[in-house]
Structure 1
Amino acid sequence: MTDLAVLYEHPAWFKPLFAALDRHGVEYIALHPHGAWDPSTPTPPAPVVLNRIAMSSFLRADEHPIFHTMALLDHWRRGGVRVVNGADVLAIDASKARQLSLIAGLGLAIPETRVVHRAADVPAAAEQVGFPLVVKANIGGSGAGITRFDNMAELRWAVAERQLPTSVDGVLLVQDYVPVRGGAITRIETLDRRFLYAIEVAGGGAFDLCPADACVEGSGIAMQAVQPAPELIEAAEAIARAVDLDVGGVEVMVDDRDGVARFYDINALSNFVAKPMDVLGWDPHDRLVDYLVARIEEARA
Structure 2
Amino acid sequence: MDKVYIIHENEEWTAPLKEALHSHNVPFEDWHMGEGMIDLQEEPPQGIFYNRMSASSHTRGHRYAPELTQAVLTWLESHGRRVLNNRTALSLELSKVMQYEALKRYGIQTPDTIAALGKEQLIKSAHSFPTPFITKHNRAGKGLGVMRFDAVDALVRHVSEPEFSESIDGITLLQQFVESPTQTITRCEFIGGKFFYAVRVDTSDGFELCPAEACEIGDGSCPTTGTETESVTRPKFEIIENFQSPLIEKYEAFLAGNGITFAGIEFIENADGKTYTYDVNTNTNYNPQAEKTAGMFGMQEVALHLKNELAMLSEPVRR
Relative to the length of structure 2, the TM-score reads 0.87
Indicate whether 1:12 and 2:7 are aligned.
no
3-state DSSP class of the match of 1:279?
helix
Alignment partner, residue 155 of structure 1 = 155
1:45 positional shift:
4.6
- Residue 33 of structure 1 contacts residue 69 of structure 1 at CA under 8 Å; is this kept in 2? yes
Q: Percent identity?
A: 27
- Equivalent of 2:275 in 261, 275, 298: 261
Is the partner of 1:187 in helix, strand or coil? strand
- Unaligned 5+ residue runs, structure 2? 216-223, 229-234
Tell me which moved more, 58-67 or 40-49. 40-49
In the alignment, is the contact (CA less than 8 A) between 1:2 and 1:29 conserved in 2?
Answer: no
Deviation at 1:225, TM superposition (A): 1.0
CA deviations over 1:34-60 (Å, ceiling 9, x no partner) = 444235324425421111122121111
Other-structure match for 1:166? 166
Question: 1:222 and 2:222 equivalent?
Answer: no
2:190 is aligned with 1:183: no
Shift of 1:233: 1.9
Distance 1:6 1:276, change over 3 A: farther
- Number of residue pairs aligned between Structure 1 and Structure 2: 300
1:86 and 2:86 are equivalent in the alignment? yes
Letter in 2 for 1:292: L
Gaps of 5+ in 1: none
In structure 2, relative to structure 1, the CA distance for the partners of 1:205 and 1:238 (3 Å cut) is farther
Q: Check if 1:61 corresponds to 2:61.
A: yes
Whether contact under 8 Å (1:4, 1:46) holds in the other structure is: no
Cα deviations across residues 110-138 of structure 1 (Å, max 9, x unaligned)? 11111122321112322333111111110
Superposition map of 1:30-69 within 5 A: 30-38=30-38, 40-61=40-61, 63-69=63-69
> What residue number does 1:282 align with?
296
Question: How far apart, CA to CA, are the structure 1 residues paired with 2:85 and 2:286?
Answer: 15
Distance in 1 (alpha carbons) for counterparts of 2:11 and 2:62? 16
Deviations 1:75-100 (A, max 9, x none): 12212321111221011111001111
Alignment match, 1:248: 263
* Cα separation, 2, equivalents of 1:130 and 1:173: 14
Residue of structure 2 in register with 1:236 after alignment: 251
Give the AA of the match of 1:156: V
- Against the structure 1 CA distance between its residues 279 and 166, is the aligned structure 2 distance closer, same or farther, given a 3 Å change threshold? farther
1:92-103 equivalent positions in 2, closer than 5 A: 92-103=92-103
Q: Distance in 2 between matches of 1:55 and 1:150?
A: 28
Is 1:254–1:261's contact at 8 Å kept on the other side of the alignment? yes
Give 1:171 shift. 1.3
Residues 190-216 of structure 1: CA deviation (Å, up to 9, x unaligned): 122211111001132411011111123
Aligned partners of 1:42 and 1:79 also within 8 Å: no
Once the two structures are overlaid, the 10-residue window that deviates more, 198-207 or 216-225, is 216-225
In the superposition, relative to structure 1, how do residues 61 and 263 fare at CA in structure 2: closer, same or farther (>3 Å)?
same
Deviates more, 1:112-121 or 1:17-26: 112-121
Structure 2 SS opposite 1:251: strand
